[in-house]
A = this chain, B = another copy of it.
Amino acid sequence: MRKVIVGIDIGGTKVAGGLVTPHGRLVKSSIVPTHAEQGFKGSYSQIVNLIESLIQDAGGKEKIIGIGMCAPGPINPKLGSVINPPNLPGWRNVQLERKIHRHFRLPAKVENDANAAGLAEALFGAAAGYRDVFYVTVSTGIGTGIIINRRIYHGKNGVAGEGGHISIDYRSPYRCGCGTLGCIEALAAGPGMARRARVKLEQEHTLPTLLRQMSSGHLSRITSKMIQEAALAHDPFAQSIIDETGFFLGVWLAGMITLLDPEAIVIGGGVSQIGRPLFKKIRETIPQYTINRRFAVKTPILPAKLQKNVGIYGAAALFQLAGEEAEKD
């Protein structure tokens, strides 16, 4: 009987789920709305229904090893509980692992989404074959996951790997939502990019850029996506913002290499899709900000591979090692 894992990616607007083999092949996937506005009861029943329909799809022909789930933090992976996700109103210290386990009588696990995505990239994505990986997702925030010996590193309280909130500029004018000045998320995530662009354009009224037209003169409407488009249209100002983003990410990743000396770094998330110009600047900057220059230049800086289904893969990856062992039976 073929073994599969149920992977569930719980987001604020949609819940994505799928059946994934222990080798990381997605054999079935499905999406439902979260109904977050209906509070815990509404969103929880959407999750249960999705799992139910996936188990039906497996239809007794496939043995289900477990149900992996991921959600935006804060999560306590040690207790298997979801603490108080800002995008899931009504969820407070939900013992999700235990509830799902009891409901379906199958092993269940829950994990922070960046950690899960990092594990998936390390097991069957861009860093397949590497054991020690530093994973980064740059989108509306910056999430990170530390994978050591093919496992997620959790730290004492299960909150390790929040690398996006390390400050690289303690006197920065930019304060992150987390309260820290100059943390990399405040500087280099999508909203941070947009904010830097806006502040510069407000300061220099005559600076020419396509972004003024694209935002119809409302600088507060500038998005990282707009910056990316303007850069593609050879707008020098937009290009300089991307360059600066790459520089910030490079300084920060240099620190991660100095500290963790990983085998590979994987960068995913919407902002990473800027691609070449961003990665080029990151790779150029890293050797300037690390003592381990000799090794840093050889550390692969890889674009993420799993893209839009990374959450499903990540959730399933929580059972991948268990799956591998089951395969041997």
Distance, CA A154 to CA B148, complexed state (A): 11
Contact B168 A263 (CB under 8 A): no
Work out how many copies of this chain go into the complex. Answer: 2
Taking a contact as CB atoms closer than 8 A, the residue among B170, B251, B263 that contacts A156 in the complex is B263
Q: Which of A174-182, A204-212, A224-232 contacts B (4 or more CB under 8 A)?
A: A174-182
Q: Does A167 contact B (CB under 8 A)?
A: yes
Given contacts A156-B261, A156-B262, contact A255 B166 (CB under 8 A): yes
Contact with B along A150-165 (1 / 0, CB 8 A): 0001111111111101
Taking a contact as CB atoms closer than 8 A, the residue among B156, B157, B167, B290 that contacts A254 in the complex is B167
Residues of B within 8 A of A148 (CB): 148, 153
**Least Cβ distance of A154 to chain B in Å?**
7
Q: Does A103 contact B (CB under 8 A)?
A: no
Q: Which of A49-57, A193-201, A291-299, A302-310 contacts B (4 or more CB under 8 A)?
A: A291-299
Taking a contact as CB atoms closer than 8 A, the residue among B159, B169, B263, B292 that contacts A171 in the complex is B169
Distance, CA A171 to CA B146, complexed state (A): 27
Distance, CA A299 to CA B157, complexed state (A): 10
Distance, CA A178 to CA B183, complexed state (A): 23
Contact A291 B180 (CB under 8 A): yes
Q: Does A121 contact B (CB under 8 A)?
A: no
Interface centre among A144, A169, A288 (most CB of B within 10 A): A169
Taking a contact as CB atoms closer than 8 A, the residue among B180, B254, B290 that contacts A289 in the complex is B180
Contact B288 A180 (CB under 8 A): yes
Q: Does A132 contact B (CB under 8 A)?
A: yes
**Least Cβ distance of A153 to chain B in Å?**
7
Given contacts A163-B259, A167-B168, A251-B170, contact A295 B179 (CB under 8 A): no
Contact A260 B180 (CB under 8 A): no
Contact with B along A259-279 (1 / 0, CB 8 A): 111110000000000000000
Distance, CA A153 to CA B261, complexed state (A): 10
Contact B291 A258 (CB under 8 A): no
Residues of B within 8 A of A165 (CB): 258, 290-291
Contact B262 A159 (CB under 8 A): no
Contact A259 B169 (CB under 8 A): no
Residues of B within 8 A of A292 (CB): 157, 159, 162
Distance, CA A179 to CA B285, complexed state (A): 12
- Given A159-B292, A162-B292, A169-B169, output 14 extra A-B contacts at Cβ < 8 Å: A144-B259, A146-B259, A155-B261, A156-B263, A161-B261, A162-B258, A165-B291, A167-B255, A167-B289, A169-B171, A179-B293, A180-B254, A183-B291, A255-B255
What are 10 A-B interface contacts by the 8 Å CB criterion?
Answer: A132-B156, A148-B148, A153-B260, A154-B261, A155-B261, A159-B292, A166-B255, A169-B171, A180-B254, A180-B290
